[in-house]
Amino acid sequence: MYEIEFLKEAYEEFKRLDRPVQELIKKKLEILAQNPEALKNNIKPLKGKYSRLYRLRVGNYRVIYRIYQEKLLILIVRIGHRKEIY
């Protein structure tokens, strides 16, 4: 099982979201921590200079994160609406 950590900015973005959206994102992150392959259809790697980052689609919101395999860590970099995140 992976541990999930937030960058300070990402945690602040998360706290600004509506409560139902927070709950939905929290459920998806719990699934991601248990088994990153379970959400394979909603995950895509980013390209270019962000090639080590991935995005998780949660409704109209996106969670940008990085996986550290050796530490079993998922670092949440950004969270936001799909129009504003990229």
User: b vs e for 67-86, b when ≥16 Cβ sit within 10 Å of the residue's Cβ?
Assistant: beeeeeebbbbbbbeeeeee
- The tens digit of pLDDT for each residue in 1-34 reads 999 999 999 999 999 999 999 999 999 999 999 9
Q: Which domain holds residue 58?
A: 3-85
Q: Which of 56, 24, 50, 53 is nearest to 38 (CA)?
A: 56
Q: Which pairing describes strands 73-81 and 54-58: parallel, antiparallel, or unpaired? A: unpaired
- The tens digit of pLDDT for each residue in 59-75 reads 999 999 999 989 999 99
What CATH number should be reported for the domain holding residue 74?
3.30.2310.20
Tokens (6 digits) for 54:
């991935």
- How high is the pLDDT of residue 77? 96
- How high is the pLDDT of residue 49? 87
Encode 37-63 in three state secondary structure: HHHHHHEEECCHHHCCCEEEEECCEEE
Give the number of domains in the chain: 1
